[in-house]
Amino acid sequence: MENFEPEIVAFCCHYCAYTAADMAGSKRIAYPPNVKIIRVPCTGKVDAIHIMKAFEKGADGVYVAGCLEGDCHFKNGNTRAKYRVEQVQKYLTDLGWEKDRVAMINMSAGMGEFFASTALEFTQNIKQLGPSPIKHFNTDGHQTAVS
């Protein structure tokens, strides 16, 4: 498990988190390559099915990064995203998964360092949790032993 490198999907709002990631890049602030960014116009466009699909496709952890509360360019998209993330956390708990595999993070466009530090922190947290439980199933749908 020590060599486990988690796959992380980050749904990032175009106006804040994506720009913050861009800023981190232009300032040469490193963040883990485990984090794969999916740019969305607003986190309000991220539905629970998108998060669950990311897990189905192999993500070990998923986070949604939106504008600071009260700063969403579409009024309340980040509030809706926060609610959906909480719903997915409940689904994961019902499935017997760790709810911390999914998170909502808020930031402004100027928070490049924060983007990098949260990407690192989330990656480390998922590394501690280990591979997604869905990876314990083979292609036939049978559960397999994890080595």
- Shortest reach from residue 127's CB to ligand FES, in Å: 27
Give 56 or 86: the residue with its C-beta nearer to ligand FES.
86
Q: Which of 44, 31, 35 is nearest to 114 (CA)?
A: 31
In the complex, minimum distance from the CB of residue 129 to ligand FES, in angstroms, rounded to a whole number: 26
Q: What is the smallest separation between the CB atom of 22 and ligand FES, expressed in angstroms?
A: 14
Q: What is the DSSP letter of 62?
A: E
Instruction: Identify which of residues 43 and 132 has a Cβ nearer to ligand FES in the complex.
Output: 43
Coil, helix or strand for 143?
Answer: strand
| Closer residue to ligand FES in complex, CB, 80/127 | 80
Q: Which residues of 56-93 are buried (b: 16+ CB within 10 A; e: fewer)?
A: eeebbbbbbbbbeeeebeeeebbbbbbebbeebbeebe
**Which residue stretches of 40-131 are H helix?**
48-56, 77-95, 112-129
Q: Which is nearer to ligand FES, 78 or 132 (CB)?
A: 78
Residues that bind ligand FES (CB under 6 A): 13, 15-16, 42-44, 66-67, 72-74, 77-78
